Structure 1
């Protein structure tokens, strides 16, 4: 194991936790989680990683994907995300916990620390290489009592249920039926949930017939194997601009093949952001109001070829209707060129309905502006719930659940 000369791992660990709390990205705090992260040695679960890397606030790959164009198969999650998701989970002493996505075993060790001697932790992964690594790391570090099972996490582990807490450390597109069956009423589920091209760590409280969120935070996770409900393809002949959408959306890609060559409409608002201010809440607002919300990505060559730059070329929200498209955009304002830069938000539309779509994006920018940190409520219902029993909001259908996103 590599170390920094003269620097103890305990010092690095405390510095990492101090930095997470100081930056306070999520706004979530819990003394028990803080103590757990100061106690459990992350570097011990990453024996092939330099200690300074183990205590950097970033993810660490533990199993690469043989496909060069694909994401890794397993990672140790970024520590600040680990922190706020554990706060969302609100573990109590004695809880019975199920984790989907075993990873290094570090998160399971934190869960065991939180639930104490009287609690139980079961972690699972579909990949036997990953679970073998997890088992070895947990045993090496004194967590022999944590269960490790090799199976599809969507199936849960009914043998050890019901669970008081369930947490997924892989991106989920659906909430499997088995989770409903195995999570006790009154229990909590924290899951990186994907919808309309975005990903959020959603903390659900399990009620008798629904799961209702009380915390929705930005995150990014490797997608779970076996849930392929998100579609994607290029919309230009040069393969520079790609669209991502959900299978429940009526998007005909053939109608969009030449959309970026059609007349362009640009609409700006008077809403501005600084260089480090997040405007991601606009996307959430769109997902709660516009059924056609999806995601667009553009390679640098697309802007060089004349595409109006999306707000974030790597991932920006977009609206699509028939043969028209619009997406979120920003540009630096001309005010006070010597001061801190400000950027105004707007939208760019292409096609016959592009101007209307751009104005609809601007409407959600204005709705977001006075309440920038407001979070939607995500309510999950069983897939057979009739429309009449759903709360008001945007309905997103999945094989196992009906999601309602509302402000």
Structure 2
């Protein structure tokens, strides 16, 4: 069989790539001709040699490196997430682009869009990752991409300024270098973690201020280097139930010792949701307005039923002193009817009643005012910005370098 004939064989890279692009178009992850053209042009399998062809072109992540605990520390991101961020970046021919967090494939997609007049630099802190990316890019014919080894927190001053900076690792803060190296009116696209939630923000620069133009739900492996930030885990039932504290909150773990042994307090809201109906804006709303917001996680393999969260892996919760409350969800439809669930809250500790009331009240506010409304606007300013210069908003989240205001309309 000739080479031309082999390219049409079912399961060939070309057919799998076309099928992947079709799926991305159907789910509207790809929305522009430029991004569509890039996905059609770049052979994803050349950047995932560890995977089968089917896995390389699946709408899924390809893990390329794990740490000593088996956790992913580097990957080729899922193509729908890559498409989402490329659409957010609004790339144009001739642009200068920095990618922080390398893998090779996304840099090749960027290179296709910015064209021969553009410049693409991809940077990573891990020499294994940069050497792998360099090899894959050369193999696929993208030798024009600059691959740089370095701490992403410092950016890449040697190739700055950039029209676009695209961060492909989960960031907890926005280091000064990213703003300094971004052109005036440039866009920073970054998966930013705020009180345990990650949103891919497209942030437009005006002076030292960044203002969001879009926000998308996403997930990434966490950033390493000088601006790495780990969640704190407060164990409520060791090996079973814990609270994930993401911000610099003064939670006293000793006060919560034995809290699950206290009676459970529950309250329901009358707010309902159908199976498969999205409600990710609820999590963002509770994170915005509730002091002491965190997430509760329950290990399904050791779950004894001491808690009944709406989501075992990441359930919105609020903690205050020796008490905490978390979001609940119960089925209220009869057997045979379409599944319908009601939101509520459960709490433990001496002040559980107040926390449960606070959480359920905010579920009701979300339902009335924000459930079908627009996304909030995220404004990012230097941490030393005077309070009077911060925009009015539901939340001000203080990081190491930046203050982030979440303003709901």
| Contact 2:8/2:15 (8 A) holds in 1 | no
Q: Which residue of 2 aligns with 1:81?
A: 81
1:311-350, aligned counterparts within 5 Å?
311-333=310-332, 335-350=333-348
Q: Which residue of 1 aligns with 2:18?
A: 14
**CA-CA distance at 1:359 after TM superposition:** 2.1
| Contact 1:230/1:247 (8 A) holds in 2 | no
Q: Which residue of 2 aligns with 1:106?
A: 105
CA distance in 2, matches of 1:356, 1:21: 47
**CA-CA distance at 1:397 after TM superposition:** 1.1
1:380-399, aligned counterparts within 5 Å?
380-393=380-393, 394-399=395-400
| Contact 2:8/2:14 (8 A) holds in 1 | no
Distance 1:285 1:278, change over 3 A: same
**CA-CA distance at 1:302 after TM superposition:** 5.9
CA distance in 2, matches of 1:368, 1:115: 41
Q: Which residue of 2 aligns with 1:253?
A: 253
What is the SS of the residue equivalent to 1:318?
A: strand
Deviations 1:291-330 (A, max 9, x none): 31111101236642x3231111011111111111111111
CA distance in 1, matches of 2:230, 2:355: 22
Q: Which residue of 1 aligns with 2:158?
A: 159
- Residues 1:210 and 2:226 aligned together: no
CA distance in 1, matches of 2:150, 2:197: 27
**CA-CA distance at 1:240 after TM superposition:** 1.2
Distance 1:206 1:102, change over 3 A: same
| Contact 1:29/1:87 (8 A) holds in 2 | yes
Q: Which residue of 2 aligns with 1:353?
A: 351
Stretches of structure 2 lacking an aligned partner (at least 5 in a row): 1-6
**CA-CA distance at 1:48 after TM superposition:** 2.7
| Contact 2:122/2:146 (8 A) holds in 1 | yes
| Contact 1:165/1:183 (8 A) holds in 2 | yes
TM-score, normalised to structure 2, is: 0.93
**CA-CA distance at 1:252 after TM superposition:** 1.4
**CA-CA distance at 1:395 after TM superposition:** 1.2
Deviates more, 1:243-252 or 1:118-127: 243-252
TM-score, normalised to structure 1, is: 0.93
What is the SS of the residue equivalent to 1:355?
A: helix
Q: Which residue of 1 aligns with 2:4?
A: none
Give RMSD over aligned pairs: 1.8
| Contact 1:229/1:247 (8 A) holds in 2 | no
| Contact 1:188/1:205 (8 A) holds in 2 | yes
What is the SS of the residue equivalent to 2:39?
A: helix
CA distance in 2, matches of 1:248, 1:206: 26
| Contact 1:192/1:201 (8 A) holds in 2 | yes
Q: Which residue of 2 aligns with 1:196?
A: 195
| Contact 2:270/2:342 (8 A) holds in 1 | yes
| Contact 1:232/1:242 (8 A) holds in 2 | no
Deviates more, 1:105-114 or 1:280-289: 280-289
CA distance in 2, matches of 1:359, 1:91: 46
| Contact 1:197/1:317 (8 A) holds in 2 | no
Q: Which residue of 2 aligns with 1:66?
A: 68
Aligned residues: 398
Distance 1:4 1:60, change over 3 A: farther
CA distance in 1, matches of 2:11, 2:204: 42
| Contact 1:191/1:202 (8 A) holds in 2 | yes
Stretches of structure 1 lacking an aligned partner (at least 5 in a row): none
Deviations 1:56-93 (A, max 9, x none): 1110011222333xx22210001111111110111111
What is the SS of the residue equivalent to 1:133?
A: helix
